Amino acid sequence: MTRDKLASLLNEDLAREYQAIIAYVVYSQVLKGAEYMSIADQLQQHAAEELKHALTISQQIDYLGAMPTVEPKPVKVSDSAEEMLRADLQNEADTIKNYRERVRQCEAMGEFAIAEHIREILLDEQDHLIDLATALGEDAPDLSK
């Protein structure tokens, strides 16, 4: 692992953060039905937290000497509230798995401060995962595998 490779991987993570910001902004406004009002409010909070994550990851990319990406990953939209929440749930699961790997990579390189920043982000991402699973009436997926 090199600093350039780590910056490239963090740029993928940043694109996922942009995706999450866009999804949460849109989903929080278009979810309809009494059963989704609570999660819609939470999604607005998630959007603000994802922006904070994007800023943190951008800062780390700059620290590594690279330019942060400006391109988000694609956002899934649907007429189905459940489909949108499931897409979000999957995106959060993917994000958590990637950040867990990023922590290991950072520590292997001796980039302990970057690893700490990512650990802080992981706390929020896990809460988002739990919120989405709860809104869907299920347990949070087991990501330890």
pLDDT (average), residues 47-60: 98
Buried b / exposed e along 71-84 (16+ C-beta atoms within 10 A)? ebbebeeeeebeeb
CA distances from 22 to 29, 129, 145 (A): 11, 17, 29
Neighbours of 43 (CB within 10 A): 27
pLDDT (average), residues 117-121: 98
pLDDT digits (tens, 9 = 90+) for 66-115: 999 999 999 999 999 999 999 999 999 999 999 999 999 999 999 999 99
What residue type is assigned to position 56 of the chain? T
Residue 145 has pLDDT above 90, yes or no: no
**Dist CA 143 CA 145 (whole Å):** 5
Between 145 and 83, the higher pLDDT residue: 83
What is the CATH architecture of 3-135? Up-down Bundle (1.20)
Select from 76, 95, 94 the least CA-distant residue to 84. 76
Amino acid 115: pLDDT: 98
pLDDT digits (tens, 9 = 90+) for 1-50: 999 999 999 999 999 999 999 999 999 999 988 888 889 889 999 999 99
pTM score: 0.95
